[in-house]
A and B are shown apart, each in its own frame.
Chain A
């Protein structure tokens, strides 16, 4: 329990890296292309959920706006990677240097993250000053602003028609790699001094301030960090799903990502991972069932009911506020005695 943040981060990352790697190896060797898609999209959604967890989990402020940063990352990656022949055709109004050039997979993902961080920082300057509940409401506004911009900025996003022609560069290995890095980054932030201060403001912001935590600044940096991870996730997502439109970065996805976070537990990195896994599993089972019984919307209803059941039974989510590795070690310690 008393070990330093470095060890705890390593421990917490390994605990999930091992099973995730196993899933990737088995999926790659055995799964049908359709099932492999589910696995890769699960790994990408891990990155996205962890991004939201790094802000909302530590600050206790829900954000509905993060999918907007994902959209930014996706559009940035798309514009950077679509071959010029297609790009000049579908986005003729792009400035020349963007229209005629492309970058490869990793730079595209990193630039997507950087742009995500930049926009998050600009928005965070305003939002971080607000009261918790007002900030949560303002994030809905943020999501809406992003949607309106994606939907109308024809020159860059092709508006409601959507964008296509992105080379599929995200492999199951890259998705795995980024998911593991995201776990490590989010855990390291959680365990850091700043992360601890921010978590203390979650229970009582005024008391945290009194003890010397600069809550506004902490929220700002957590928000920016999570914007960066969200941008990276969007970049990965775009380079896997190769075509998309603005509607994909709106409430449906926000609901699914928040469902993962609520079910697993907002308060810990383990919660985000477990929640992403649980909701993906429920979602896939229900999707197959929905095709058979032909009741549209039943999947969403079941996921929403799952949220409610978890909120009634375990308001802090399946994993609660503690990290899985801490809990496991404590149990082991008890057994030894």
Chain B
């Protein structure tokens, strides 16, 4: 019985880990999917929105600004960065091929990274965060980190707000329509520039929210910090089916479940290969479902 309880407890603990990790992936993947579904652009520079938000917190932290101000400022900074990115870099390229857009976003990603590298430092810089993030709650025999609780709760709340916005507001419905078929949506009188700007703003804000938790987990900022998270988000959105919004969220949780599962089951001496195993599983999933888990072949773009 005791052994069984241990197994169950272990499983629940891992499920909580997967949920909090997955919710960050989901936020990033959702932002990517939003932009992709409307513009056909896989935004490589999405990770740099995380970096912008994290550095905003770092700079405010240096000035001893309170955490309650840092958070909205970071989210706003990421959203503004996303809007600027679209206005300056992507608008002149609108309608170009998938490849051109991808390369452009790749170049923008490198530019932003190197601006931080040149302007602040190539090295990691520590950011002091509220102590709460390091504390844990004890419920019966379970120990849950506050960070995990807050991450999961915030991300789920953000997803909820976004869903309500997309389903209930005119602007949101316009965006959903544009995500399904941009050309037809335009013919129906949905203003292209506004929808695209809104998509970028939302993707930036989501990246900003994710950035807070990514920063809380690593405790430092560095110019290349957006790379691994956005890579995970790419993978998550591909698992779910590129361009499907629900798929992106689901993909985020699936990827996190795979990673946490591997962490728990791999022997220590091959643990370093975890990401390789995770990606191999993902590629295997794609082999059987080349269009992703949630997209039916007919609606693939």
Contact = CB atoms under 8 A, between A and B. Distances in A.
A134 interface: yes
A196 B286 CA distance: 28
Contacts of B235: 137, 140-141
Contacts of B227: 251
B110 A315 contact: no
Interface in B40-98: 42, 89, 92-93, 96-98
Interface stretch (A2-10, A45-53, A231-239, A303-311): A303-311
A191 interface: no
Interface stretch (A86-94, A110-118, A293-301): A293-301
A149 B291 CA distance: 27
Contacts of A149: 273, 276
Interface stretch (A98-106, A123-131, A328-336): A123-131
A227 interface: no
A295 B118 contact: yes
A294 to B, nearest CB: 10
A301 B104 contact: no
Given A126-B284, A137-B234, A140-B231, A148 B272 contact: yes
Given A126-B284, A295-B118, 6 more contacts: A132-B98, A133-B301, A138-B286, A140-B234, A148-B273, A300-B114
Return the 7 tightest CB-CB contacts between A and B, nearest first: A297-B114, A152-B272, A304-B107, A148-B276, A307-B107, A297-B117, A141-B279
Interface of A: 60, 62, 126-127, 129-134, 136-138, 140-142, 144-145, 148-149, 151-152, 251, 255, 258-259, 262, 266, 295-298, 300-301, 303-305, 307-308, 311-312, 315
Interface string B226-254: 01000100110110001000000000000
Contacts of B242: 131, 133-134, 137
Given A151-B272, A301-B110, A141 B283 contact: yes
Interface residues of B, number: 47
Nearest to A298: B118
A307 B283 CA distance: 30
B110 A134 contact: no
Nearest to A316: B100
Nearest to B96: A315
Interface in B125-169: none
A251 B227 CA distance: 10
Interface of B: 42, 89, 92-93, 96-100, 102-104, 106-108, 110-111, 113-115, 117-118, 122, 227, 231, 234-235, 237-238, 242, 272-276, 279-280, 282-284, 286-287, 290-292, 300-301
Nearest to A148: B276
Given A126-B284, A134-B291, A140-B231, A297 B118 contact: yes
A301 B275 contact: no
B103 A134 contact: no
Nearest to B118: A297
Given A62-B102, A145-B280, A133 B42 contact: yes
A298 B273 CA distance: 34
Contacts of B287: 126, 129
A311 B286 contact: no
Contacts of A130: 286, 290
B231 A307 contact: no
Contact of B104 (A131, A144, A300, A311): A311
Contacts, number: 126
22 contacts: A126-B286, A127-B283, A129-B290, A130-B290, A131-B300, A132-B98, A133-B242, A134-B242, A134-B291, A136-B98, A136-B102, A137-B237, A138-B283, A142-B283, A144-B231, A251-B227, A296-B117, A298-B118, A300-B110, A301-B110, A308-B104, A308-B108
A298 B115 CA distance: 8
Main secondary structure, interface of B, reads helix
B230 to A, nearest CB: 10
Contacts of A259: 107
A305 B300 CA distance: 33
Given A130-B286, A138-B238, A151-B272, A311 B100 contact: yes
Given A148-B273, A258-B106, A312 B117 contact: no
Nearest to A64: B106
Contacts of A142: 279, 283
A205 to B, nearest CB: 12
A312 B114 contact: no
Contact of B122 (A132, A262, A296): A296
Contact of B110 (A129, A132, A133, A255): A255
A266 B238 contact: no
Contacts of A308: 89, 104, 107-108
A132 B100 CA distance: 14
Nearest to B238: A137
A148 B107 contact: no
A48 to B, nearest CB: 17
A267 to B, nearest CB: 10
A214 to B, nearest CB: 16
Nearest to B228: A144
Contact of B273 (A152, A297, A311, A315): A152
B103 A311 contact: yes
Contacts of A140: 231, 234-235
Contacts of B98: 132-133, 136
A307 B108 CA distance: 9
Nearest to B122: A296
A141 B118 contact: no
A144 B115 contact: no
